[in-house]
Amino acid sequence: MQAKLIVDKDFTIGEVDKRIYGSFIEHLGRAVYGGIYEPGHPSADEQGFRGDVMELIRGIDVPIVRYPGGNFVSGYNWEDGVGPVELRPRRLELAWRTVEPNLFGLGEFVDWCRKAGTAPMMAVNLGTRGPEEARQLVEYSNHPSGTYWSDLRVQHGYKAPHAIKTWCLGNEMDGPWQIGAKTAEEYGRIAAETAKVMKWVDPSIELVACGSSALGMPTFPEWERTVLDLSYNEVDYISLHQYYGNRDKDSANFLAQSMGMDAFIGSVIATCDYIQAKKRSKKKLHLSFDEWNVWYHSNEADSRIEPWSVAPPQLEDVYNHEDALLVGSMLISMLKRADRVKMACMAQLVNVIAPIMTETGGGAWKQTIYYPYMHTSIFGRGTVLVPLVESPKYDAKDYTDVPYLDAIAVHNAEAGEVTVFAVNRHLSESLPLSVDLRSFGSFRLIEHIVLESDDLKAANTKAAPDRVAPHTRGNAVVESSGSGLAASLGKASWNVIRVK
């Protein structure tokens, strides 16, 4: 068994838009309350933002964070979350069957983003509301002053506009679970009209239309075709959402699922380009993969949660080693289409299907999936190179010809570095790999980072927060020819090989 990766600096896919390393904070479970916001916590600042969580987030360098939902946004009145906290209403929150105290809202989120070194990506409610409330929200957020809504923001203590550039037009509007779900025709029209007035208020903003909630939705890809036919000129991105799980306890099949993601991305690009052709448009639509992750571990526990409490422990997946491998492959899938995938949000950031876990009142730690997310965000910036991959393959339950090697290389010309990200999907054997870097001249190895474990189900918990953690004892070496690398990738491992 031998695998090979050939890359050349002149054969490029595209520049990485750093926003593909975005994430997501929803008013759901303990993402906000007990996650990023916990007044009284020993690490909290004067606004109640947890410092320990912020430090872990800074470690990933998250460039953009989507807010406030998710399903939550489809029943949300943004006005409930601004102004004096003591006047804000407690509301029944129907999407997740909780009580929302509205102690944290738009202003707090924007402040938190600035402190965390990230940018806000705001979603508007197109479930129970429409263009009117959306344009008012843009006016409140982005108009300097001198009008009712912008002056209200000033009155609330924010003289400078929030300057929110990126906006989502609703959330998963095709899903029957969505408050105010719509047909593609209904949504396409409302999305176009909402986009129009939002951009009339602030022409500098960019807008994401909802695509299907998942590749497996019966409406996919007809939904995309119809929605874009009705809104192509008004919007800038179409969203993709996809979660995977290993319910059948079939790890070989589980790790192959990023091939479904490759196909999903390809089909959405094709649909966008079909509409572009149909409209004889010069505009190329880009993709915002604004929800993606592994999500299944917590499903059963969630079904036992009593409704109508504040911030219950919902969607608290405890991630294991194999989850980190699939997350690595999902990141590779997005890098492979860096030419069109310009934004993406790991769903979510803290506690709720997240790379960071906290104990309310206690500590914070890194889940296994933190590592591939951090590695790609830190080292995966620059130009993605076309990956010529030769690899032995296997057949799984839902996918055939699955390459054991999943790999991509990113060239950071500014730093003079090339980073290879590689997963060995083989569950019991290591995979010898040669990397041909023919056009890069001479280089030296900086490091070979490896995330591996003898137990695919090993997880990080409060009691053992570092059970699965990367090391830099990878065995990659520069070949004697000087133009390539040789390594043996451990069974079921995530690898980051950096050269300069």
Q: CA separation (Å) from 313 to 53, 310, 458?
A: 17, 10, 21
132 contacts: CB under 8 Å, gap ≥ 6: none
Q: CA separation (Å) from 18 to 15, 96, 344, 388?
A: 9, 31, 9, 24
Instruction: Report, in Å, the least distance between residue 398 CB and ligand AHR.
Output: 21
Tell me whether residue 95 or residue 489 sits nearer to ligand AHR (CB atom).
95
Instruction: Report, in Å, the least distance between residue 302 CB and ligand AHR.
Output: 11
Instruction: Report, in Å, the least distance between residue 140 CB and ligand AHR.
Output: 23
Tell me whether residue 51 or residue 245 sits nearer to ligand AHR (CB atom).
245
Q: How far apart are the first and last CA of the chain?
A: 28
Quick one: which segment of 69-77, 189-197, 256-264, 419-427 binds ligand AHR (CB under 6 A)?
Answer: 69-77
Tell me whether residue 202 or residue 317 sits nearer to ligand AHR (CB atom).
317
Both tokens assigned to 195: 């986009």
Tell me whether residue 70 or residue 380 sits nearer to ligand AHR (CB atom).
70
SS3 state of residue 190 = helix
Residue 69 interacts with ligand AHR (CB under 6 A): yes or no: yes
Tell me whether residue 71 or residue 453 sits nearer to ligand AHR (CB atom).
71
Residue 172 catalytic? Answer: yes
Q: Give, for 257, the enclosing helix (H) or strand (E).
A: none
Tell me whether residue 348 or residue 453 sits nearer to ligand AHR (CB atom).
348
Instruction: Report, in Å, the least distance between residue 69 CB and ligand AHR.
Output: 5
Instruction: Please name every residue paired with 123 in a beta bridge, in sequence order, or none if there are none.
Output: 168
∠ CA 123-128-133, rounded to 5° = 60
Residues 145-184, interacting with ligand AHR (CB under 6 A): 171-172
Instruction: Report, in Å, the least distance between residue 136 CB and ligand AHR.
Output: 23
Both tokens assigned to 308: 């109508």
Both tokens assigned to 220: 């996919």
Instruction: Report, in Å, the least distance between residue 42 CB and ligand AHR.
Output: 29
Residues 101-130, interacting with ligand AHR (CB under 6 A): none
264 contacts: CB under 8 Å, gap ≥ 6: 215, 240, 242
Residue 186 catalytic? Answer: no
299 contacts: CB under 8 Å, gap ≥ 6: none
Both tokens assigned to 181: 């779900």
Residues 289-328, interacting with ligand AHR (CB under 6 A): 291
Tell me whether residue 268 or residue 347 sits nearer to ligand AHR (CB atom).
347
Contact flags string 380-419 toward ligand AHR, x per CB under 6 A: ----------------------------------------
Among 226, 348, 377, 419, which residue interacts with ligand AHR (rule: CB under 6 A)?
348
Residue 367 interacts with ligand AHR (CB under 6 A): yes or no: no
Contact flags string 29-68 toward ligand AHR, x per CB under 6 A: ----------------------------------------
Residue 470 interacts with ligand AHR (CB under 6 A): yes or no: no
Q: What is the dihedral of CA 52, 56, 61, 66, to 10 degrees?
A: -80
Residue 355 interacts with ligand AHR (CB under 6 A): yes or no: no
Among 23, 71, 118, 271, which residue interacts with ligand AHR (rule: CB under 6 A)?
71
DSSP for 31-97? Answer: STBTTTB-TT-TTB-TT-BBHHHHHHHHHHT--EEEES-SGGGGG--GGGGSS-GGGPPPEEETTTT
Tell me whether residue 69 or residue 127 sits nearer to ligand AHR (CB atom).
69
DSSP for 297-348? Answer: TTHHHHHTPPSS-SS--TT----BHHHHHHHHHHHHHHHHTTTTEEEEEES-
Residue 26 interacts with ligand AHR (CB under 6 A): yes or no: yes
Among 347, 449, 468, 489, which residue interacts with ligand AHR (rule: CB under 6 A)?
347
Chain position whose Cβ is nearest to ligand AHR: 70
Instruction: Report, in Å, the least distance between residue 264 CB and ligand AHR.
Output: 15
Q: How far apart are CA 136 and CA 114, in angstroms?
A: 23
Q: Is the dihedral of CA 292, 307, 309, 298 positive or negative?
A: negative
Q: How far apart are CA 387 and CA 79, in angstroms?
A: 48
Length of the chain: 500
Residues 73-92, interacting with ligand AHR (CB under 6 A): none
Count of residues interacting with ligand AHR (CB under 6 A): 9
Q: Among the options 108, 291, 322, 452, which is catalytic? A: 291
Instruction: Report, in Å, the least distance between residue 335 CB and ligand AHR.
Output: 22
Q: How far apart are CA 386 and CA 402, in angstroms?
A: 19
Q: Among the options 172, 234, 322, 452, which is catalytic? A: 172
Among 68, 70, 188, 490, which residue interacts with ligand AHR (rule: CB under 6 A)?
70
Both tokens assigned to 357: 């876990």
Q: Which residues are catalytic?
A: 172, 291
Residues that bind ligand AHR (CB under 6 A): 26, 69-71, 171-172, 291, 347-348
